[in-house]
Structure 1
Amino acid sequence: MLDELLGRASLKDRIDELEEENERLRSRYEAESDRRAEAATARQDAEERVNRLEDRIAQLEGELERTSEDETGLSVRHRHQLRGGRLEAVLDRLESFRTGAEGALTVGVSDGGLSDPVRADLEPVLGDRVALVDDAAPCLCCVDDEGLLAVTLDPPLVPDREATWRDRFALEREWFLPTGRHAVALIRTDLFALGTYEGDERVDYRGFESDVKGSHSKGGFSQARFERIRDGQIDDHLERCRDALAAYERGGENADVALFLAGQRGVVDALVDESALEPAATAAVDATGDPEPALEDAVRSFWTTELRVL
């Protein structure tokens, strides 16, 4: 009676309603937190399983390749990683090769392998070993019509070159070696480095690191929150990378400079897909450490060509 007289009864009823509403919201929040934690845990479990399966696939593919080589005897005679002076010496030898008219074939082989017309040209010379050219794709293939010389090369810039028969191999140094003014950018989830070069000499540099959280081993809501924070930090970092590259391209002296992107494959692909960048070439490289030394490692890896002697 006293509560009603003082008007407190309605207030108490309102308080009870708000407490009930608060309890409902708390239950929904906890359920949503549990759902997100379970989803994060399931995602991590799935990623771990994918990684295990990919490792197993790589192992089985290696065993299959070794088995195929044992059964067929198909394997490259020599395989070399070439850069710098050694690469130039090999190119000199290839360019010095001479034969009769239309006796030397140079062809760019895409990811899809040899085209049927080129395969028909090569099979009389290489026989079953033509399969090794498909294995090396994408690559450049140089073969003479007598089978005295047969190699593939995977330079940083694999040209879209149709089959060319001449008295010598049709090679361009800029496919293999740093020439003229160009730029190489290294991009990781936490690092950016950009060097401008005149030939193999660096004339300009800029780089930075971003604060991106590393791996996390805890489960539950804490892990889900951690992953959201980390994803946001990576997005912010890639935005900084896009801004840095855009500022570089806006520079008047860089308008016609070839830009090469290297780094973590998924990160590089995402950056290209989400921007207006049109790099001359991209490459996956394993470059760790601080920005400047990591860029040096990336440039060394980028300008490396694998030679396979068939």
Structure 2
Amino acid sequence: MTDQQWPWPAGAATGIGSLPGTDIAEAQRIVLGELPALPHLPELPARGPGADLVGRTAGLLVELPVELYAARWRIAPRPGRDLRRARDLMERDLDQLAEQAEEYAGPVKVQAAGPFTLAATLELPIGGRMLRDPGAVRDLAGSLGEGLRGHVAAVTRRLPRASVLLQLDEPSLPAVLAGRVPTESGFGTHRAVEPEVARALLRDVLDAAGVPTLVHCCAPDVPLELVRSAGAAGVALDLSLVTDLDPLGEAIDAGFGLLAGAAPTQPSASGRAPTSAEVADRVSRVWDRLGFPRRRLAEQVVVTPACGLAGATPAYARAVLAACRDAGRRLAEA
């Protein structure tokens, strides 16, 4: 285990994805400044439709155009204005990244919605979520895999010295596997997707992307074994939602990377951000309970906020990223 190569440097910290505000140049400056070991491409959902996680990812799909209908994304007969807007926003973000991080030579993380969260959110042209049609879900996974491969190539073209790390956001995955995704009427739920089917589709997407990929899920009951056996390099989760440590211990023991969500996304009652010592302590306490040697912690674990920071104030978001960065350094020096 000790000689395993991780796609990030020891003592790294990163963000989950979203940040507050609408100024992408400023957001990228903050990320590159506060998270120098593992910067991520920030998402700014406050910019409106197409800047949200689902719209942003839907813009990457190949031969599956989307549009907004009644404030929801659905598959469209042909490309239109909504899709153009989503693609323009992404293009602008990547151009801005190329400008600000031109000489950057380390790992950089990009995020996209995973196939099951997309299937549970995107609607079919005739209405109803894509999740209700297994054939549509297969097509969606194929389109997403191809789109992600193109997205990774677009990032690599702009940052030729960097290495790309992909994060698939799958907040809906536990609900999809448990048959808890509600139907449109709200009176029923969609049939559960079998674990073998989910694993195979997820593996197809990861293989197509062609770079080390993490799966992020800030819901309870993250299906760690499924994610790991599908070929992910690691998992990103909120430490406060982990109730059973055994599956996490088994995954880490098997060589799984952990993005440990250890800093709250909102300030405490006192209104202050956590200190780096508090964040480092939360990570090391869980690690010690798992029973692994401390020397592996800084290599196998990346410190992150508990989830996205779109709902935070700009000052709090920046303070949390700085606390995560310094916590990662503390853990590397311990």
Under a length normalisation based on structure 1, what TM-score does the superposition of the two structures give? 0.27
Q: Normalized per residue, which structure has more helix?
A: 1
The structure with the larger Rg is: 1
Q: Normalized per residue, which structure has more strand?
A: 1
Under a length normalisation based on structure 2, what TM-score does the superposition of the two structures give? 0.25
